[in-house]
Amino acid sequence: MISFDHVTKLYGETPALSDVSVNVQDGEFVFFIGPSGAGKTTFLKLLTREALPTKGDITLDDWKVNTLPTSQIHLLRRRVGVVFQDFKLLADRTVYENVALALEILGKDDREIARDVDKVLELVGLAGKKYLFPQQLSAGEMQRTSIARTIVGGPGVLLADEPTGNLDPETSWEILDILQEINDIGTTVIMATHNASIVNDLKKRTITLERGEIVSDEARGRYHIHKKARRLRGKP
């Protein structure tokens, strides 16, 4: 279980998160929505120890994330994988090599790596593209590669920060199908997004942040950022 207990994160005087308390159970699929600057990415960064809270406690299962010794942060990051909007693939490595690298770092042998990489490329529908380089892929295929790399080590939790931000609607849905499959095999998925149609159609638990505070937490959520926030983002 993931637990935020009265977590505040200040950057200077400005709270990026303000007294946030929330639990996410193992195996849940949760959307984090809210206007730009609401604190979605900050929430995810606190969970991977890319940032430290100013106040409050964060736990993941039996680990106290905010007081974890620096020497153990790599263990935390094996349990919590992250997928980004901009993929972050290595340009000079093939799809296979990008994914394999995650296992090489864990010291796995070549046979195990080949088996696991092939399995995960199958899952994301890229078995036929494993010898291509990132510049030979569509954006959707790049995001699939990035998801494969993140899940190949078997993290219990997958964080996705705007994973469909660079994708067209159809490709976005393909990525959501993959994230749901990953969730179906028991991985907790937390996804920050501005994609209203995905949130509205999937009706999963949806937590809305505004100015660093949780303003709603709905079991079958809808995307309803208030009108002023939409105007600020240049939407009608």
Nearer to ligand ATP, 40 or 130 (CB): 40
- Rule CB under 6 A: is residue 198 a binding residue for ligand ATP? no
Interaction partner, residue 205 (Mg ion, ligand ATP, none; CB < 5-8 Å by kind): none
Q: How far does Cα 63 stand from its chain's mean position?
A: 19
> Out of 20, 31, 33, 41, which residue is the one contacting Mg ion (CB under 5 A)?
41
Nearer to Mg ion, 40 or 130 (CB): 40
- Rule CB under 6 A: is residue 86 a binding residue for ligand ATP? no
Interaction partner, residue 191 (Mg ion, ligand ATP, none; CB < 5-8 Å by kind): none
Which residue in the shown chain puts its C-beta closest to Mg ion? 41
- Rule CB under 5 A: is residue 193 a binding residue for Mg ion? no
- Rule CB under 6 A: is residue 16 a binding residue for ligand ATP? yes
> Out of 40, 49, 130, 205, which residue is the one contacting ligand ATP (CB under 6 A)?
40
* Segment contacting Mg ion by CB under 5 A, of 12-20, 35-43, 176-184, 208-216: 35-43
- Cβ of residue 36: shortest distance to ligand ATP, in angstroms? 3
Q: How far does Cα 222 stand from its chain's mean position?
A: 19
Q: By the criterion CB under 5 A, which residues form the site for Mg ion?
A: 40-41
